Amino acid sequence: MSSSLNFGKNWSLSLNKIPRACISQESCHLIVLGKNQEHKGHSEILELDTKDKVILKYPQKFKNYRPPPLVSALKDSAAESAASFHFPGHNRGVAAPKSLTELIGTRPFQLDLPELPELDNLFAPEGPILEAQKEAANLFGASETWFLVGGSTCGVQAAIMATCSPGDALVLPRNSHISAVSAMVLCGAVPNDINAISKICHSRKIPLIVDEAHGAHFGFHKKLPISALAQGADLVVQSTHKVLCSLTQSSMLHSSGNSLVDRERICQCLQTLQSSSPSYLLLASLDAARAQISEHQETIFNEAIELAIEAKSKIGKIPGISLLGSLNYPSIDPLRVTIGVWGLGLSGFEADDILCRDFGVVSELVGTQSITLAFNLGTKREHFLRLVEGLNYLSATLFHNCTMNRVIEVTNLVHFDDIEMILSPRDAFFASKRKVRIEESIGEICGELICPYPPGIPVLFPGEVITERAVEYLLRVKGQGAVISGAADCLLSSLVVCKKS
């Protein structure tokens, strides 16, 4: 089929310039404006402007169809036969590395375009990016939404930097993501306790920031928790790529429009934190993920939730296996299945290794005594049946053989509620430091941000007094297979501490 349709001698209609919609040539009634020319079919009407060569009116059955604006713009731009003298260096896939094109083909490279005029500017949007962000804000119930190509980490940092100045107190839970701590290094805020967060925020008009990285799908099913925006949060960061279907690293930052938050400062912070050469594949994937949810937002999660509930029902009957929360507890995401394996005398790391190696089950998160699995729109029945098969194998093999001593060791939890901050994270980051043996670090001021990863929850903050409990916990989980991030010495034989003045 040719790339254009010719209507007489004076103009043509390029197919790659219109939104994709399946328009049957046999059932269209064409009215060519200015020429009084018609093509009569059934009862549909397609109006065409002879001057600008564009469609002005679609058939009635496509009247409500709105293609994702940024996806459409990217498709059209990539289809241009351009002599490209711009970045990136693979030149629309012509010079793409062979080792990678053999894996994914050249199409991703052809769509990997820079900030071309028709693709808009992420930091000063007025075209398809702006339209896509508005569509997202409408779907998620925000006053304004910003697309992020630096993940939710960038969104958390921007939200804190936009609302906190040096010396401000930041009400922060102990289990905050490392991005919150790095934001305090950047802006100079000081961490505070979480106990009175609700009272403080509502009575003193303090903006509430919610890291909802794992909850972009909240509110789109009656069994899902209510979204943070719907509960009155001022700024909400969501990892659209986690449960929704955008590409990895793409996220959104939503604002409720509350006057406590300065939107211009948010924009400035995002421009400071994000790349000046954003990936339009990532941006378009955010637009596409929004459109995917919009089309069937009332029912799209039905199958995934039903599978997760059925899986929990089957898993709950396996001896030695524990499930976190009840099936109907409203504050727990039904798409997350957290399995405790301490009753089998295993750590979460050991159980995960067996499930992955022998049954091809790959989990989302592994802990010292549990495994968390994320059900999503792509989860199939065969997947969870394989999971159940693996857990039955573990139970049959280990349940009757595990010892009580082993169980007690695995289930020994540590709660870090004895925080003593001597320096702010920012002051600790820029302080003079020295390295000491880990057994000599107790009582010193930590100079690193140290945490088992995932999920990226710090055990030691910069500026915090190092305790014996924290050191013992880090050594134990490392011995069980956890990856420790942030420490200069990956073996944990030493720690970096701040020099005392």
CA-based nearest residue to 308, from 292, 325, 327, 322: 327
Considering the entire predicted model, what is its pTM?
A: 0.75
Give the DSSP H/E element, type plus range, for residue 148: strand 144-148
Q: What percent of the chain has pLDDT over 70?
A: 80
* Residue for token pair 């880990």: 438
Question: Which of 224-228, 363-367, 450-454 is the least confident region?
Answer: 450-454
Question: Which of 41-50, 383-392, 446-455 is the least confident region?
Answer: 41-50
CATH T-level topology, domain 425-498: Ornithine Decarboxylase; Chain A, domain 4 (3.90.100)
- The number of C-alpha atoms within 13 Å of 383 and in the hemisphere containing its C-beta is 14
Helix, strand and coil content of the chain, in percent to the nearest 5, comes to 35, 15, 45
- How does pLDDT run across 227-269, given as a tens digit for each residue? 988 888 899 999 999 989 998 889 999 999 887 889 999 999 9
- How does pLDDT run across 199-216, given as a tens digit for each residue? 577 678 888 888 999 999
Span 224-229, average pLDDT: 90
Is beta strand 433-437 parallel, antiparallel or unpaired with respect to 494-498? antiparallel
Q: What residue ranges in 385-463 does DSSP mark as E strands?
A: 433-437, 451-453
**pLDDT for the residue 134:** 96
- How does pLDDT run across 410-428, given as a tens digit for each residue? 444 555 667 888 999 999 9
Contact assessment for residue 79 and residue 93, using Cβ atoms and an 8 Å cutoff: no
**pLDDT for the residue 63:** 54
Under the banding of pLDDT at 50, 70 and 90, the label for residue 270 is very high
**pLDDT for the residue 33:** 36
Which residues of the chain form CATH 3.90.1150.10?
302-410
Q: What is the CA radius of gyration of the chain?
A: 27
Span 11-21, average pLDDT: 33
Q: What gap in Å lies between CA 194 and CA 204, rounded to an integer?
A: 15
Q: Is the pLDDT of residue 308 over 70?
A: yes
Q: Is the pLDDT of residue 462 over 50?
A: yes
- How does pLDDT run across 361-374, given as a tens digit for each residue? 989 888 888 899 99
Give the DSSP H/E element, type plus range, for residue 56: strand 54-57
Q: What residue ranges in 240-342 does DSSP mark as E strands?
A: 251-255, 322-323, 336-340
Q: Which CATH class is domain 117-295?
A: alpha beta
CA-based nearest residue to 367, from 301, 430, 262, 452: 452
CA angle, corner 473, sides to 469 and 476, nearest 5? 140
**pLDDT for the residue 43:** 41
* Residue for token pair 């804190």: 160
Which residues of the chain form CATH 3.40.640.10?
117-295
| CB-neighbour burial class of residue 210 (10 A; exposed 0-12, middle 13-18, buried 19+) | buried
Contacts of 489 (CB under 8 A, 6+ apart): 435, 495, 496
Which CATH entry fits the domain spanning 302-410: 3.30.2130.10, 3.40.50.80, 3.90.1150.10, 3.40.50.720? Answer: 3.90.1150.10
| CB-neighbour burial class of residue 266 (10 A; exposed 0-12, middle 13-18, buried 19+) | buried
**CA 135 → CA 69, 139, 144, 217, 298, distances in Å?**
9, 6, 10, 16, 17
Which residues of the chain form CATH 3.90.100.10?
425-498
Question: Which of 29-38, 114-123, 295-304, 315-324 is the least confident region?
Answer: 29-38
Q: What gap in Å lies between CA 412 and CA 396, rounded to an integer?
A: 24
**pLDDT for the residue 471:** 93
